Amino acid sequence: MKRVVFIVSLFVFALQAKEIPLSSSKVCQKCHPLIYKEYKNSMHAKASIFKDPLHNAVWQKHPDRKKGNYKCKKCHTPADTALKGLPQKNEVQLHEPISCVYCHRIESIEEHTKSNVNVLDKRGDTLFGARAAQKNRKDVEYGLKSSFFGLVKKEHGSPFHKIDFSNENFYNGKVCMGCHSHKQNGHGFSVCKTDEHMSEKRNCITCHMPKVQGSFSTIKHTKTHRFHGFAGVSVAEELLSEYVKMELKQGQNGYDVVVTNLAPHELLLHPMRLGELRIYVYTNGERTLVKKYAFFKVLGKEGKPSAPWEATQMLKNTQLRPERTKAFSLGESVKKGAQVEVVLGFYKVSPKIAKKFHITDKELLRFKVLKTLHKEL
């Protein structure tokens, strides 16, 4: 009997040792320190109500809170697998609500009307990666390769996990679409939606995780690695400014600023954002605002603005459309010879909406600049 128990427990141990827990981002730090550092500062590491004041402000007013049902967990804290009911302040919620292993185990995306579902790989000891030259390799294990008749030994693979390079979703950006594609509220209305128009050359990964300086691991060395701070409205927006073009051109009535949004989605996505195009003219070194255009969405019900969970229609949407160009007039007062400055930027929360949700955090209320253009007409 003792022997049977021993063998069974050994078997269970072997199984457990194989599976890498979803909440083990700290372990990755040892061999992927730069990526870990960037990740810690990303919105994915801060997506819980305990770390994201904006998410928390909306949650506090959300009707599901009274029902004790934190449905947001599916996308905001999927690594906290023990969570039932309301979120508790624990290590996963605080440090890795969307963890390294969670993303790197997304095998496929199931498409659904309300919101998509991430299907995780069953093996548990294998992480997905992308390397075009090894795309046919599903099971890269750690080992030493001998060459020169055994005189030189070279390490290959990772001592901590196996790697699968064959998952198409890690090349074309689809891996992001389990959470970012769309979300319907209880009335079947999509409160957010990210259009996808992707190729291997340009997709969510290539724009939001651009290659930046520094090795991806301490064992195998590379010049660059993919940025894990996830450039967006909260972090490193400057890495995205090249995807918006601005030009000053002679239009039908005076001059225009011609803006091109190269992103495959509306320039700003979340309905709480407010974008602004501000046009200034300098006279004797003094800057005067002569024109302002606003980019925003208004969700509503029966023709009136409403909370997102009550909305049934889009009342207004002035966001810059995906892969489109639009001209904005400087106004007739701006004449040839004028010193013009054009600023395209945004508020993470529109000041009006911030008031409704009692948001006072200075960082959230700051106007951030995405792109500036100076020119003498």
Binders in 279-338 for ligand HEC, by CB under 6 A = none
Closest approach of ligand HEC to the CB of residue 321, in Å = 13
Nearer to ligand HEC, 70 or 255 (CB): 70
Long-range pairs, 107-114, Cβ under 8 A, ≥24: 107/167, 107/169, 108/169, 109/169, 109/174, 109/175, 109/177, 109/178, 109/181, 110/178, 111/181, 113/184, 113/188, 114/183, 114/184
Distance (Å) of CA 110 to CA 105, 107, 113, 142, 179: 14, 10, 10, 31, 11
Interacting span for ligand HEC (CB under 6 A) from 68-76, 293-301, 324-332, 333-341:
68-76
Query: Is residue 14 a contact partner of residue 124, using CB atoms and an 8 Å limit?
Result: no
Segment 212 to 271, residues that bind ligand HEC, using CB under 6 A: 216-217, 219-220, 225-226, 228, 230, 232-235, 237, 240, 243-244, 262-265, 267-270
Q: Which of 273, 278, 297, 371 binds ligand HEC (CB under 6 A)?
A: 273
Which of 127, 100, 105, 133 lies closest to 118 in space, CA to CA? 105
Query: Is residue 375 a contact partner of residue 256, using CB atoms and an 8 Å limit?
Result: no
If one asks whether residue 167 binds ligand HEC (CB under 6 A), the answer comes out as no
Phi, psi of 259 (to 5 degrees): -110, 130
Nearer to ligand HEC, 58 or 259 (CB): 58
Cα(257)–Cα(326) distance, integer angstroms: 8
Nearer to ligand HEC, 237 or 276 (CB): 237
CA 351 to chain CA mean position, Å: 23
Interacting span for ligand HEC (CB under 6 A) from 1-9, 33-41, 281-289, 293-301:
33-41
Query: Is residue 82 a contact partner of residue 152, using CB atoms and an 8 Å limit?
Result: no
Nearer to ligand HEC, 60 or 333 (CB): 60
Interacting span for ligand HEC (CB under 6 A) from 10-18, 87-95, 174-182, 281-289:
174-182
Cα(238)–Cα(258) distance, integer angstroms: 20
If one asks whether residue 274 binds ligand HEC (CB under 6 A), the answer comes out as no
Which of 204, 197, 207, 325 lies closest to 256 in space, CA to CA? 325
Q: Which of 22, 83, 92, 204 binds ligand HEC (CB under 6 A)?
A: 204
Nearer to ligand HEC, 135 or 375 (CB): 135
Segment 84 to 113, residues that bind ligand HEC, using CB under 6 A: 98, 100-101, 103-104
Q: Which of 22, 34, 126, 157 binds ligand HEC (CB under 6 A)?
A: 157
If one asks whether residue 35 binds ligand HEC (CB under 6 A), the answer comes out as yes
Nearer to ligand HEC, 281 or 364 (CB): 364
